[in-house]
Amino acid sequence: MALRSLWRLGLASTAMAGGVGGAVIVSSDDPATAIKLCTSVPLRLFRVSVAAASIAFDYEYSLMGLPEGSSERSKVKHEVHIRGARKLEELCFKNGGIYIKLGQHLGQLEYLVPQEYVEILRESMLNKCPVSSYEQVCEVVKSELGELPDKIFKDFDPVPIASASLAQVHVAHDHDGKKLAVKVQHIHMTDSAAADYATVELIVNTLHQFFPSFDYRWLIDEVRDSLPKELDFLVEAKNSVKCMDNFRKLSPSIADYVYAPRVYWNLSTSKLLTMEYIEGAQINDLKGIRGLGLRPVDVANLLSKTFAEMMFRHGFVHCDPHEANLIVRPHPSSKRGIFGKRKPQLILLDHGLYKELDVETRTNYAALWKALVFADANAIKENCVKLGAGEDLYPLFAGILTMRPWERVIDPAVDHLVMRGSEGDHSELQMYASQYFPEITELLRRLPRVILLMLKTNDCLRAVNNSLLQRSSLESFLIIGRVSSEAVIEAKLLQNKSFLRYISAWLEDLSLEARMFVMRIALWIFQLRRTLAF
C-alpha cells in the first residue's frame, strides 16, 4: 500500500512540476537561465519518487516474514539501512543544491534516523560535495569583480581546497603577498536554489497529503527564511563581524580564544567572499590537533564554552557548526606549557546560517539546560513547556536535547547525561527513534523554528565532541551548566534592579554554586581514578 502511494506521489508531483517551474521562471532575474534550469524540476521530482519507492520496496520485501526482534531480522535490517542510505546519498548528489544541505542535516539527526544513515550521510555530505569547473569559477569571479582571477590576484589556485553545497573555496595571494581564502558561489546557484526550494516544497506538501503523519511543512518555512541569507555572502561577512563583537563585549574571558577570518570587503560581493587564509587542523583531525601541541580535551572544552556563550549570553548563534566549518590552531601568543602543550584557538568558518534568540527565549533555553544538567525535573518540565513542547511531550524534548531517556535525564548522579559510546547506548537511541517517531514528528512541528535550529546546532556539536573524545564529556556538561546558570542569574538581576532583590536572587542561586563546586570535585576524582586505572 505504501509503495503504491509513493508511485502515485511521484506521478502527481511530476505532473505538477510544470507549474512550479513556471513560478520560478517568472520570479527569476535571468529568465533564459531559469527556463534552462527549471527543465530539471520534473527530473528531480522523478528521481525523488523513484528513490523513495525503491527504498520502501527494499524494506518491505527484505523484511517480509522475518520475526520482529529476531537476530536474522536485525541483520537484514542493518543491510537494508545501508542500501537505503546509499540510495539517499546518490539522490542528494544527483539533485545537488538544497538536497546536499538536507543530507548534511539528516546526518546529524541521531534521534530520528538509523545509525547507518547518520554515518554514511555525515561522512559523504561534508567531504564529497560536487565541484564547479575552473571555467565556471572564472565566470563568477569576472561577473562579480569585473576581471578574471589572474588579473585580480597575484595567483589563484584553480583547484579548490574545499567544496560545499553552495560554494567552494580557493587559495589565492593578493599583490602584497597575503594568503587568501576565496569562497566562490557555484554558478547559477541563486536560480537553481529557487528551483530546488520549489521542488522540496512540492515534495513535502505532497507527502503530507499521502501520509498525514509525515508533517514536515515547517521545513519549508525554514528553507524559505534561511536560504536567501546563506546565498548572500555579504550577510555571512556581517555575521562574522557581529559574532566577534559579541565575544569581545559579552564574553571577554574567552574572546581571545575564538576567531573568525578577516574579510577583505573590497574583494567581496554577494556571490564571492575573500578572507584571510587560516592555517590549522580540522576539528575532527585528532592526529593533526596533537601534532600542533594541542589536547583534544582542551579543544572540546573550548568548543563547549564558545557555543554555550553564544546560546545563553549572546543570543546570536552560529547554527552550522559541523566538522568542516571548525578548525583549530595554537593560540598565536601562547607558549608551550610544562608538558609541551599549548592553548587552542577555535576558528569559526561559514557564517551564513545564524539565528537570533530573543531575551525570553534565550533565558528559557538557558534555564532548561541548567535544569537538565542538575536533573531538576520540575524546572525541566516548566521550561520545556515555555519553549513550546507542551505538557505531554516535554520528556521527549529533554531526551532529544540530551540523547538520554527520561529516567537518565532526571537521575541525580553527577554523570547522568554522559553517553558511554557503547553499542548499548546506540541501540537504545535507535529503539527510541523508531518507537516514538510520530511523537518526534509532532514535537518538531510544535517547536518554534529558532529552537529547531538550536536542535540542529546541538546535534552538530554532539557529533564534533564525540569525534574529539570518542564519547560525550562530563566536563562539557559542567561548562554548559555553569554558563547557563550564570545567564539565568544575570537575567534575574536585570529584571530585579533593587538591592534587596539583588540579594534575594543571589541567595536563591547560592545553592547552585555549591552544587557546581561539588560537581567539580566529583569530576576531579573521576579523572584521578581514570588516570590511576592506566
Whether the predicted pLDDT of 327 surpasses 90? yes
Query: Is the confidence at residue 417, as pLDDT, over 50?
Result: yes
Region 94-122 average pLDDT: 78
Q: Please, which residues have CB within 8 angstroms of residue 27's CB and are 6 or more apart in sequence? A: 194
User: Mean pLDDT score of the chain, rounded to an integer?
Assistant: 82
Instruction: With cut-offs at 50, 70 and 90, classify the pLDDT of residue 306.
Output: very high
* pLDDT grade for 209, boundaries at 50, 70 and 90: confident
Euclidean distance between CA atoms 271 and 137, whole angstroms: 11
327 pairs with which residues across the strands?
A: 282, 347
Place 3 in a pLDDT band, splitting at 50, 70 and 90: very low
Taking the CA atoms of the chain, what radius of gyration do you get in angstroms?
Answer: 24
Specify the pLDDT at position 506: 53
- 32, pLDDT greater than 90: no
Predicted pLDDT of residue 459: 85
- Lowest average pLDDT, out of 49-63, 76-90, 344-358, goes to 49-63
pLDDT at 144 over 70: yes
The b-or-e profile of 183-210 (16+ CB within 10 A means b, else e) is bbbbbbbbbbbbbbbbbbbbbbebbeee
Q: Express each pLDDT in 245-255 by its tens digit.
A: 999 999 999 99
**CA of 250: how far to CAs of 305, 315, 487, in Å?**
13, 11, 11
Cell representation of residue 375: 536533573
Q: Which residues pair with 173 in a beta bridge?
A: 155, 179
Section 225-250 average pLDDT: 93
Between these two residues, 207 and 146, which has the higher pLDDT value? 146
Pick the more confident residue, 313 or 504: 313
Instruction: Give just the sign of the alpha carbon dihedral 69, 70, 76, 78.
Output: positive
Q: Take residue 109 and report the three cell numbers written for it.
A: 539527526
Q: What percent of the chain has pLDDT over 70?
A: 78
CB neighbours of residue 241 within 10 Å: 14
Provide mean pLDDT across the span 121-137.
83
What per-residue confidence (pLDDT) applies to 470? 74
Is residue 221 annotated as a catalytic residue, yes or no?
Answer: no
Lowest-confidence range among 338-342, 392-396, 412-416, 427-431?
Answer: 427-431
What is the residue-wise DSSP string for 409-446? HT--STTTT-----HHHHHHHHHHHHHTHHHHHHHHHH
Task: Give the pLDDT confidence score for residue 310 in this predicted structure.
Answer: 98
172 strand-pairing partners: 156, 180
Q: Which listed residue (191, 196, 285, 320) is catalytic?
A: 320
Tens of pLDDT, residues 441-490:
888 888 998 998 899 899 889 889 888 987 767 888 999 999 999 999 88
pLDDT at 218: 72
| Position 1 confidence tier, pLDDT thresholds 50, 70, 90 | very low
| The three grid cell numbers given for residue 1, joined into one nine-digit string | 500500500
